[in-house]
């Protein structure tokens, strides 16, 4: 009985730490300083694991822990920096 409880608990912890990737379209991303600003701030948002900013595509790709943050929170963080998000593409 203990082994079953432990296994279920381990599976629950795995589910809690599930990473999700999202690509956010940021039309106002138009200079190298914009990229630096995003790269300096967004990685410090709770739950963010990885970040890639593309000036060429005007997108921000973020990998994050689903149990710690969500797309709406990350979009608001970008908006506070002066970069409103227009569209999102989420991958589980």
> 65-89: per-residue pLDDT in tens?
999 999 999 999 999 999 999 987 7
Question: What is the reported pLDDT for 13?
Answer: 58
Question: What is the reported pLDDT for 10?
Answer: 55
Instruction: Note the CATH number of domain 18-91.
Output: 3.30.70.100
Q: Do the beta carbons of residue 74 and residue 22 sit within 8 Å?
A: yes
pLDDT band at 21; cut points 50, 70, 90? very high
Q: Quickly count helices (H) and strands (E) in the chain.
A: 3, 4
d(CA 66, CA 10): 17
**pLDDT above 60 (res 15):** no
Strand order through the sheet with 87-91: 48-54, 59-65, 19-25, 87-91
Question: What is the reported pLDDT for 88?
Answer: 79
Q: What is the pTM of this model?
A: 0.79
């Amino acid at each position: 009985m203990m082994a079953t409880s432990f296994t279920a608990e381990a599976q629950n912890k795995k589910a809690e730490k599930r990473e999700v990737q999202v690509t956010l379209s940021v039309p106002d991303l138009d200079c190298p300083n914009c990229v630096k600003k995003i790269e300096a701030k967004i990685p410090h948002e709770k739950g963010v694991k990885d970040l890639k900013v593309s000036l060429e595509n005007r997108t921000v790709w973020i990998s994050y822990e689903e149990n710690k943050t969500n797309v709406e929170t990350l979009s608001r963080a970008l908006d506070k920096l002066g970069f409103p998000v227009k569209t999102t593409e989420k991958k589980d």
